[in-house]
Amino acid sequence: MKTYSRILKLLPPYKFQFMMAFVCMVGFALSNGAMAYLIGPVMKFLFSKDAQAGINIVPFNLFTIPKEHMLIGIPLAIMVVAIVKGVSSYGQSYFMGFVGQGVVRDIRKKLYDHILTLPINYFSSTPTGVLISRLTNDVNLLQSSTSDAISTVLKQSLTIVVLAGVIISLDWKLALAASIALPLSVYPMRKLGKRMKKVSTQGQVTMGMMTALLHEAIAGIRIVKAFCMENYESKRFQEENERFTQNQIKTIMVRSLSSPLMETLGSVGFAVTIWFAAYRISQGTLQPEAFISFFASVIMFYQPIKALNGVNLNIQQGLSAAQRVFEVMDRDSEVEKKQGALTINGVNDAIEFRKVSFNYGENWVLKDLDLNVRKGEILAIVGSSGAGKTTFVNLIPRFYDVTGGSILIDGKDIKDLTLHSLRSQIAIVSQQIILFNDTVKHNIAYGDMLVSDEEIIKAAKAANAHDYISRLPQGYDTIIGEGGVRLSGGERQRLSIARAILKNAPILILDEATSALDAESEHEVQKALANLMEGRTTFVIAHRLSTVRNADRIIVLGGGNIKEMGKHDELLAASGEYSRLYAMQFNT
């Protein structure tokens, strides 16, 4: 109920459409009841031998209609009822479909917006394909818990109420006999619903894993083909595909069992009703035409009950999807700004690391680290693999929050700053180049789509990218493909540098920005980086120690803290960890 109430809270924006749908449902239920009610008088009229006697149209002999009027009245009444029923059915389907699609759209938007606010560590532990599955497959299944389920429940419930009124008004004793099977249907409906929810959840988990495998294989298709692993990836996918198929078969089994079970239970009620009606007719206490209307009403009465059982299975399937969606939406976003959070505009003095500690679980990466980086200084961070270099720089934009200590910019703790204010002061160029399947222009302007073409070109020239961009088929309007697949490694990197130059942030983070490039591309990128670093407080991570010779200061991380600090020549002369790493790279 808690999950369902969260879904219902999304309905208010569509209250007009919902009310219109409800009016249509009432019209459908009343016309359904009227159709059942007319069957008895119609049968009596058709088979009556007394043409002048007229016919009672209610069971209480309140009034009669002459036969000559019935020749026109009954067909006309049937047509009017059928039209009302058809229009009502269309109206409720349209309006509830409108509501359902609107709610699903809103949930999809809220989920996507929330995913964008989740902290980096959530994405580190959750496969991309699983998130895609939540956003697509699970949200689509939610529709069965909104428009489809609500529509069916309300429409069929109203129909049951109207038909129950007709049945009781015709003969309450027969109504009691006919309802004997209803209590018997409660337990199997609940049991089948729980089973459906369980297998549906398992199926959605498996669908998420299939999507994750598909995403990984396509994203890494070059590696898959280079290592001839097509069969291996095919086998992995087939295992999850088979698991999903088995879950779907279980779902089919539950649905297939539901209908005959309800029909069997319904036949019990029919059997008791027919026996009791035959007895009453033989005793002269029940008129055949009254029984015909009653019997037609009972047949129509069991149809919405059967439909409610089917929609119960859909609801359980939808609620399973809803719980998975809300599980993501309930994840804490990145730390919200404090009340009265501050904003900054540049670095006027220094960036200070004061007793900074950070750990992943039980593994301490940094411990009580102290460092002061002056405005405009180029700081190089080196160390062996796993020393915490990337973690160190990721703490500055608060991709991760320090476990202990604090990071201050001009004396202000970055936790006291708004995230937008902080991150707007930082530009990042990393080894993992992130480009989008869009134009060159939009990739450079990412972060400020309102910037002028002149500024974009100026940034591209500073990044030594303008010449090759001009040679592209549509120049700056060329679509570069997913991840910039239509560009070389050096071209992609220079594009990301142009993006950083255009941002014009006072703090710059370079994380292995040239490690994946060949010598010629690296030369071009290094010239672009020199333009980018000018006048900025820069943090440079580099495995190639030759690229950090000109840094103002070099720190060597190890054991969670700074092992050495100084200029290139000073550290070489000290014959410490930096000297050892340098010797390993250059075999000296």
Contacts of 233 by beta carbon, 8 Å cutoff, 6+ apart: 213, 217, 224
Task: Tell which wins on pLDDT, 333 or 470.
Answer: 470
Model confidence at 293, in pLDDT bands (50, 70, 90)? Answer: low
Contacts of 199 by beta carbon, 8 Å cutoff, 6+ apart: 247, 250, 251, 254
- Residue 167, pLDDT > 90, answer no
Mean pLDDT along residues 472-484: 87
In the 3-class helix/strand/coil scheme, how is 443-497 assigned residue by residue? HHCCCCCCCCHHHHHHHHHHCCCHHHHHCCCCHHHCECCHHHCCCCHHHHHHHHH
Range of 172-181, 297-306, 567-576 with top mean pLDDT: 567-576
Q: What is the pLDDT of residues 382-391, one digit of tens each?
A: 988 888 888 9
- Give, in order, the Cα–Cα distances in Å from 366 to each of 380, 409, 558: 17, 19, 9
- Residue 204, pLDDT > 80, answer no
| C-alpha span between 138 and 343 (Å, rounded) | 39
CATH of domain 378-387+424-586: 3.40.50.300
Beta-bridge partner residues of 510:
429, 540
pLDDT for the residue numbered 521: 64
- Residue 370, pLDDT > 90, answer yes
Tokens of 125: 């532990």
| C-alpha span between 342 and 414 (Å, rounded) | 9
Which one, of 272, 285, 291, lies nearest residue 39 by Cα?
Answer: 291
Tokens of 399: 């991709």
pLDDT for the residue numbered 63: 46
pLDDT for the residue numbered 60: 43
Mean pLDDT along residues 393-412: 91
The number of CA neighbours under 13 Å toward the Cβ of 512 is 11
Model confidence at 54, in pLDDT bands (50, 70, 90)? Answer: very low
pLDDT for the residue numbered 369: 92
Which one, of 104, 94, 136, 133, lies nearest residue 7 by Cα?
Answer: 104
- Residue 103, pLDDT > 80, answer yes
Range of 38-47, 211-220, 262-271 with top mean pLDDT: 211-220
From 41-55, 107-121, 203-217, 314-328, the region with the lowest mean pLDDT: 41-55
Task: Tell which wins on pLDDT, 393 or 287.
Answer: 393
C-beta separation of 555 from 382 below 8 A: yes
| Domain ranges across the chain | 2-207+248-329, 378-387+424-586
pLDDT for the residue numbered 335: 63
pLDDT for the residue numbered 158: 82
- Residue 446, pLDDT > 80, answer yes
pLDDT for the residue numbered 39: 67
Percent of the residues in the chain that have a pLDDT greater than 90, as a whole number: 13
| C-alpha span between 562 and 254 (Å, rounded) | 62
pLDDT for the residue numbered 332: 82
- Compute the mean pLDDT over every residue in the chain, rounded to the nearest whole number: 79
Number of helices (H), then strands (E), in the chain: 21, 12
Q: What is the pLDDT of residues 3-14, one digit of tens each?
A: 777 777 888 888
pLDDT for the residue numbered 379: 93
| C-alpha span between 78 and 42 (Å, rounded) | 10
Mean pLDDT along residues 518-537: 75
pLDDT for the residue numbered 514: 67
Tallying the residues shown for the chain, one arrives at: 588
In degrees and rounded to multiples of 5, residue 399 shows phi and psi of: -65, -35
Q: What is the pLDDT of residues 311-359, one digit of tens each?
A: 777 777 777 788 888 888 888 887 655 667 788 888 888 999 999 999 8
Which one, of 473, 549, 466, 552, lies nearest residue 501 by Cα?
Answer: 466
C-beta separation of 17 from 150 below 8 A: no
3-state SS class at 64: strand
pLDDT for the residue numbered 133: 81
From 63-72, 163-172, 214-223, 533-542, the region with the lowest mean pLDDT: 63-72
In degrees and rounded to multiples of 5, residue 543 shows phi and psi of: -80, -30
CATH C-level class of 2-207+248-329: mainly alpha
- Residue 461, pLDDT > 90, answer no
3-state SS of the chain: helix, strand, coil percent to 5?
65, 10, 25
Beta-bridge partner residues of 429:
510
- Residue 189, pLDDT > 50, answer yes
pLDDT for the residue numbered 355: 94
- Residue 64, pLDDT > 60, answer no
